[in-house]
Amino acid sequence: MQQLSTRHLLGIENLSPADIGLIFETADNFKAVLNRPIKKVPSLRDITIANVFFENSTRTKLSFELAEKRLSADVVNFASGSSSVKKGETLIDTVNNILAMKVDMVVMRHSSPGAPHFLSRHIQASIVNAGDGTHEHPTQALLDAFSIREKLGEVAGKKVAIIGDILHSRVALSNIFCLQKLGAEVMVCGPATLLPRYIRELGVQVEHDVFRALQWCDVANVLRIQLERQQIKYFPSLREYSLYYGINKKLLNRLDKEIVIMHPGPINRGVELNSDVADSEHSIILQQVENGVAIRMAVLYLLAGQK
Ligand code: CP
């Protein structure tokens, strides 16, 4: 069996293109399984996985849980809001207590960048980062690139514009690493206040005019304005943001070509993306969600195979 170069999935930054290729090939097989009447395989029977979420989630949490159940793993779920974290228990104590119950793998979302990396140095189990603050969201980037490959045949040579709140986005950073490793060209677009100052050092193009970004790209990955992470005002109002950066049908109709629209969710409808685009034939948003289960099955299966 081919193996990943890592025993944790902490981010895309340290994955090789061969690792990503192996995850995609494995996900192709699992996607075929998911389209069968019986969607379950015994691959992770006797493996126990804890989903440890210190931050809210709909897609990622459900997608991991479904992936684990489709692989026949035993699953336990932890939500910090109803846990002893509220009584002051530390991250390491919390996770070590979960592991004492004979858990083999931990899928963790945390609001602090680096939390899964820190944990990986202190515990034995494999860790999958399900989003660490504004840092990385590796399985989102994998499912995004997998969806581009599915829609356009390949990722190499494609032009992808990531549009919106890049400053607060873990999806943006993981996507930049993943797309570049697969040979795509990446542009980021947004108001200067929502682009990190170091961003050009990552080898991406920077654009502030959304129409020019859409005209340049084959794929637009539109990101959510993350109001919950914004302590100061980065733009005058949501209405003004929507006026200058919101993607709507009228804007797409002005382009001289068809482009693919993506969004990792949750969408602020009418802010970064209008319903006339989100629900149109341009959008592959629900295909991204569907592919998330196959990608997460592949990641869990490959990491478990390294034991
Ligand atoms: N895309 C994503 O991470 O969505 P959730 O926050 O709902 O998991």
Domains, the chain: 12-136+289-304 (3.40.50.1370), 138-285 (3.40.50.1370)
Confidence of residue 229 (pLDDT cuts 50, 70, 90): low
Q: What is the pLDDT of residue 236?
A: 75
* DSSP, res 154: -
Ligand 1 pocket: which of 53, 54, 58 to mutate (most atoms within 8 A of CB): 58
Distance 140 CA to ligand 1 centre (A): 8
Instruction: Report the alpha-carbon distance of residue 257 to residue 107 in Å, rounded.
Output: 40
Rg (CA), the chain: 19
Ligand 1 pocket residue status of 289, Cβ below 6 Å: no
- Supply the pLDDT for residue 100: 87
Q: For residue range 86-133, what is the model confidence (pLDDT) as tens digits?
A: 888 998 899 888 888 889 999 999 999 999 999 899 888 999 999 999
Pocket test for ligand 1, best of 57, 135, 139, 288 (most atoms within 8 A of CB): 57
**Ligand 1 and 228: CB distance under 6 A:** no
**pTM of the complete model:** 0.95
The first and second tokens of residue 92, run together, are 């390491």
Atom index in ligand 1 nearest the CA of residue 63 equals 8
Query: Which candidate, 300, 33, 23, 9, places its Cα nearest to that of 149?
Result: 23
Q: How far apart are CA 305 and CA 307, in angstroms?
A: 6
